[in-house]
């Protein structure tokens, strides 16, 4: 049994926000809160001490492409906050997309549909999810080689799911022990899947596809029609009717490429018991003869013709359900050809015949080998019908050899990438890879998103030096950098360490645009640097004001500056000519939402010229921490708050989709937006996304702060 400090809710500490350390959703050990009899019910535990340690950064700038935030670069001087890690993999790592195809990690875009996993019942299962952000960084890399000869390249801080839970790639430099990969571990997933060149423009593939599709589900023929009093006429006929329009459109395009014209029409209207069907057809003698020529049996079935034939047969008569690919037909010659084409590409299959004594028995070819072979099938033969490529709900289990046989550090740092997804993970080279984003980021250090986030702090050692190096790279392209995207750059620790100020000095030297979000009044300390940036339209500062009620502030943000101090900071920034705004964030329904108008009015009076707001977000473990806090401080309205949150999140506690996660949805969200916009108009406050900062003035800083210029 593992025992963790403060895993049980403790007597509330007025100087802390969280009550306990919640177990991470990806931890391999489950933590159960129990009373072992040694404590005394009314005994007050000692206060939780804050510890601080350096975290040498391999890269300072983090990049993303999320449409929900108005910047694509950020720097977080601290991990954790008194008032949270970049997991990265090689850009050519193959990511499993929502349609069953693969795409390199470097080419993934925000909004792409990919596969992640969720725990359901006894198994972790594949589900479709969306990419919420795309990140890039430059840091040391490691190579992991598996028993099936697959390779993975990732940073030492990246985590993969093993048979013993989530583990880091490397041991780490800190004194504390964190779980890391060894050659005794087995990764979870289905393993690397062979890639194939897409055969769309290959004539042999198109012939094979049309042969499989039309012979499998089409109708073609020539017959004589008797005409009384006149000579009999010869009727030529081709028709292909399908429920799935993907295959119909591909067939039309392929026929057009062979200069065969067909007409598309409604074959069957949708009813309560029948699906809509559309069809293509022609009665032109030359066209029907040309189609016959295209679908005739080849002298030898191999290469791309075989790939096309299997793809066409699967679109016509195939299914993928219960984790199994099946293709059925009554023509045994088709079955023989199908199995031969599967054999050419190394697939194991068997034939199952239903009612063998029937006049026309149905023969079914079943492909064996599990999910890995199913995905290889889709990539080898490239069927067109999207719904048949769906692996959602399939359990994460495989006979693939995913044992780690070698882990080695690479000599050079390299550009690595990461994505943020709705499930918190994704499938990379056939294995399950982790990602995450403030309080949840503390779990990358194997720490809790609860009290650990507030008391186990890390700072980026030599951040200014690393920033100089990154800004001097030839590949660097200037765009505004945000300070405070994940944790507050002006938390109490900054007063002693001065990391944020050192970063600002480098940015000012290089005439680099920067935006800041903080709830710390300490920002006024750096007015001298900020004023230099403001003179060239290079800075915006947003002060987060959650409430004007001192008592509510003490409950929500026990160690942050008072509302009065924050408003005073806005005033001093404005007096110095520094563009300043207010962020009303987070908006918590039934707790502080009623203060929206009064906060904006007070901020405008203090000198703010822009404003924004963000609805309460509860990703991952933050949900349990918030609800624990809510039950303690507002038991009378806890259920009301929960209900409102679920109303805003489509019936869930959190909706990670971009476009929804920051503002919510539904009538209450629209009302909040209308109130915000009306108040902004009343007090002359602009949007926090307006008036872009200047980027044309950027020039790389000196390599060293002591280096003198020649001219």
> Residue 21 above 60 pLDDT?
no
Select the highest-mean-pLDDT range: 170-184, 221-235, 347-361, 436-450: 347-361
DSSP letter assigned to residue 444: G
The larger pLDDT score, comparing residue 618 to residue 654, is at 618
The pLDDT confidence band at residue 282, using thresholds 50, 70 and 90, is very high
Sign of the alpha-carbon dihedral angle for 674, 677, 680, 682: negative
Beta-strand runs (E) in 463-507: 481-483
Looking at the domain covering 85-190+398-436, what would its CATH class be? mainly beta
Q: What is the DSSP letter of 575?
A: H
Range of lowest pLDDT (99-113, 121-135, 388-402, 646-660): 646-660
When pLDDT is cut at 50, 70 and 90, the band that residue 398 belongs to is: confident
Closest by alpha carbon to 672, among 584, 549, 607, 552? 584
Angle in degrees, CA 136, 141, 144, rounded to 5: 120
Task: Work out the end-to-end distance of the chain between its first and last CA atoms, rounded to an integer number of angstroms.
Answer: 67
Structure tokens, 177:
């022990």
- At CA 275, angle to CA 115 and CA 374, rounded to 5? 30
Confidence of residue 139 (pLDDT cuts 50, 70, 90): confident
| Architecture label for domain 203-389 | Roll (3.10)
SS3 661: coil
Give mean pLDDT, residues 122-133. 86
Mean pLDDT in residue range 588-614: 94
pLDDT band at 55 (very low <50, low <70, confident <90, very high): low
Burial of 297 (0-12, 13-18, 19+ CB in 10 A): exposed
Query: According to CATH, where is 3.80.30.30 located in the chain?
Result: 460-687
- Is residue 516 over pLDDT 50? yes
Where does CATH 2.170.16.10 sit in the chain? 85-190+398-436
CATH of 460-687, one of 3.80.30.30, 3.40.640.10, 3.20.20.140, 3.30.465.10: 3.80.30.30
pLDDT at 106 over 80: yes
Span 462-494, pLDDT tens digits: 888 989 999 999 989 999 999 877 778 898 778
Q: Where in the chain is the domain with CATH 3.10.28.10?
A: 203-389
- With cut-offs at 50, 70 and 90, classify the pLDDT of residue 620: low
Token couple for 264: 């598309």
Phi, psi (rounded to 5 degrees) for 492:
-50, -30
């Amino acid at each position: 049994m593992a025992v963790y400090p403060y895993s049980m809710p403790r007597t509330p500490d007025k100087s802390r926000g969280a009550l306990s350390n919640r177990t991470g959703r990806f931890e391999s050990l489950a933590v159960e809160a129990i009373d072992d009899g040694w404590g005394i019910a009314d005994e007050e535990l000692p206060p939780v001490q804050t510890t601080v340690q350096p975290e040498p950064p391999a890269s300072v700038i983090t990049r993303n492409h999320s449409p929900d935030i108005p910047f694509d670069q950020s720097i977080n001087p601290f991990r954790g906050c008194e008032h949270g890690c970049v997991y990265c993999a090689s850009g050519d790592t193959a990511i499993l997309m929502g349609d069953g195809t693969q795409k390199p990690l470097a080419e993934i875009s925000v909004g792409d549909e990919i596969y992640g996993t969720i725990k359901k019942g006894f198994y972790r299962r594949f589900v479709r999810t969306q990419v919420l952000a795309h990140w890039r960084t430059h840091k040391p890399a490691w190579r992991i080689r598996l028993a099936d000869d697959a390779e993975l390249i990732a940073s030492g801080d990246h985590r993969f799911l093993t048979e013993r839970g989530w583990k880091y790639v490397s041991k780490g430099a800190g004194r504390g022990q964190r779980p890391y990969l060894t050659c005794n571990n087995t990764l979870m997933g289905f393993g690397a899947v062979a890639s194939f060149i897409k055969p769309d423009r290959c004539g042999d593939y198109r012939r094979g596809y049309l042969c499989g599709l039309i012979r499998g589900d089409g109708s073609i023929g020539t017959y004589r029609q008797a005409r009384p009093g006149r000579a009999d006429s010869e009727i030529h006929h081709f028709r292909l009717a399908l429920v799935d329009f993907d295959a119909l459109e591909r067939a039309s395009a392929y026929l057009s490429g062979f200069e065969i014209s067909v007409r598309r029409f409604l074959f069957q209207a949708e009813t309560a018991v029948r699906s809509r069907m559309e069809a293509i057809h022609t009665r032109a003698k030359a066209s029907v003869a040309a189609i016959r020529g295209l679908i005739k049996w080849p002298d030898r079935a191999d290469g791309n013709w075989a790939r096309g034939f299997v793809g066409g047969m699967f679109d016509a008569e195939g299914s993928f359900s219960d984790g199994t690919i099946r293709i059925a037909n009554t023509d045994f010659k088709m079955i023989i050809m199908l199995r031969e084409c599967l054999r050419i590409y190394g697939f194991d299959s068997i034939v199952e015949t239903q009612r063998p004594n029937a006049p026309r028995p149905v023969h079914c070819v079943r492909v064996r080998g599990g999910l890995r072979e199913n995905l290889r099938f889709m990539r080898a033969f490239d069927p067109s019908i999207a719904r048949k490529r769906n692996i959602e709900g399939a359990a994460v289990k495989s006979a693939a050899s995913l044992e780690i046989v070698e882990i080695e550090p690479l000599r050079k740092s390299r550009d690595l990438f990461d994505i943020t997804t709705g499930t918190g993970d994704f499938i990379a080279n056939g294995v399950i890879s982790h990602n995450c984003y403030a309080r949840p980021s503390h779990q990358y250090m194997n720490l809790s998103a609860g009290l650990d986030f507030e008391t186990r702090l890390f700072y980026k050692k030599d951040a200014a030096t690393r920033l100089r190096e990154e800004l001097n790279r030839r590949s660097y392209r200037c765009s505004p950098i945000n300070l405070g995207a994940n944790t507050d750059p002006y938390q109490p620790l900054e007063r002693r360490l001065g990391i944020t100020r050192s970063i600002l000095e480098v940015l000012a030297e290089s005439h680099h645009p920067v935006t800041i979000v903080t709830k710390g009044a300490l920002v006024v300390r750096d007015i001298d640097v900020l004023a230099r940036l403001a003179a060239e339209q290079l800075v915006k500062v947003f002060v987060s004001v959650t409430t004007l009620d001192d008592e509510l502030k003490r409950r929500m943000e026990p160690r942050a500056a008072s509302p009065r101090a924050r408003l005073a900071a806005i005033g001093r920034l404005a007096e110095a000519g520094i563009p300043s705004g207010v962020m009303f964030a987070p908006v918590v329904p039934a707790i502080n939402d009623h203060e929206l108008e009064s906060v904006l009015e007070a901020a405008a009076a203090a000198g703010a010229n822009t404003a924004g707001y963000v609805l309460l977000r509860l990703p991952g473990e933050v949900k349990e921490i918030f609800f624990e806090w809510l039950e303690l401080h507002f038991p009378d309205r806890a259920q009301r708050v929960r209900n409102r949150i679920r109303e805003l999140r489509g019936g869930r506690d959190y909706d990670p989709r971009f476009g929804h996660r920051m503002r919510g949805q539904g009538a209450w969200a629209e009302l909040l937006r209308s109130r915000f916009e009306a108040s902004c108009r009343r007090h002359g406050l602009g949007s926090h996304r307006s008036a872009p900062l200047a980027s044309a003035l950027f020039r790389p800083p000196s390599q060293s702060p002591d280096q003198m210029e020649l001219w």
